[in-house]
Structure 1
Amino acid sequence: MTDYKYFEDFAVGQSTETPSVEMTEAEIIEFAKQFDPQPMHIDPVAAQHITGGLIASGWHTASMTMRLLVTAANYHPAPGTVGLGFEHLKWMKSVRPGDKIRLRLDVLGVRDSSSKPGWGIVTNLFTTFNQHDEPVQEMKTSIIVPKRNK
């Protein structure tokens, strides 16, 4: 049974971390061939001259971050929760084949929705780290979450 989190369950300062997942060369190339077919993502030989070896597309890292988020054991927003967008997205370090990435989610803000009674806005910071605890991606996002007894 899923233990959904309603607006009242979020508080500034809460933090959730996920287990890590390995980024494989095959997955990096497969993703990039479909969505970001640049040489540094799809051709290991060309990538050697461009970036010192194959690197994952930033969009692949962002997609894996989302996968980590929705499969995390302690993060299940209530049905009806919708993303409102993000304020910023930064890629700080390349992700390479064999890297193991994990996500830390920090709740930065919670407030009642001014336009939708019975709902609240939660602002989060998602930081994706590699196996060396180096941040590889950061994004600040907001979601609208129903209140328990709306």
Structure 2
Amino acid sequence: MRWFEDYEIGHVERFGAYVVSRDEVIDFAKKFDPQPFHLDDKAAAANPIFGRLAASGWHSCAMLMRMLTDHWTEDGHFSLAGTGVDELRWLKPVYPGDVLSAEAEVLAKKASGSKPIGFIDYRLAMFNQLGETVMTLKVTNIQPRRPE
């Protein structure tokens, strides 16, 4: 298990190899973001931004969360909760067939003065197989502190 005290400011972790499938893009869009460029090849081709079927930005967030959870579970990381998301940016479309990876950098940390927890600020970035940054955001996780 990794405790709040184990995290160093400036530490960067790289992980993931998530393959984006066409069926998953369409399924997510049908359920949560049913815009034509997420559902239909012809409509997506006519869109001057995407040019072809593209994943929802919210789906991109969910794929990043999956990679984080898989990586941090393997790594012994244990988050009690998150406090929110700041500065979310979708920089490039994510397409079926893309292979996504991620990076997490520890920006800051602060111990609670009253509870056995600490807050860790991260910069997260997600990349496609070409190394292009497709999404960035900042989050704060609540981590348990090492028992005395």
TM-score between both structures, scaled by the size of structure 1:
0.91
Q: How does 1:13-32 map to 2 (within 5 A)?
A: 13-32=10-29
- Structure-2 residue corresponding to 1:77: 78
Matched, 1:145 2:146: no
**Is 1:16–1:74's contact at 8 Å kept on the other side of the alignment?**
no
**Is 1:99–1:131's contact at 8 Å kept on the other side of the alignment?**
yes
Report the aligned-residue RMSD: 1.3
Q: Deviations over 1:31-50 (max 9, x none)?
A: 10000000000011111001
Q: How does 1:94-133 map to 2 (within 5 A)?
A: 94-114=93-113, 116-133=114-131
Extract unaligned runs of 5+ from structure 2.
none
Task: Report the Cα offset of residue 117 of structure 1.
Answer: 2.6
Q: Percent of aligned pairs with the same residue?
A: 36
Task: Report the Cα offset of residue 75 of structure 1.
Answer: 5.8
- Structure-1 residue corresponding to 2:38: 41
Displaced runs of 4 or more, over 6 A: none
Distance 1:75 1:85, change over 3 A: farther
Matched, 1:68 2:67: yes
Aligned counterparts of 2:101 and 2:13: Cα–Cα separation in 1: 11
Aligned length: 144
Deviates more, 1:68-77 or 1:50-59: 68-77
Extract unaligned runs of 5+ from structure 1.
none
**Is 1:16–1:75's contact at 8 Å kept on the other side of the alignment?**
no
Matched, 1:136 2:134: yes
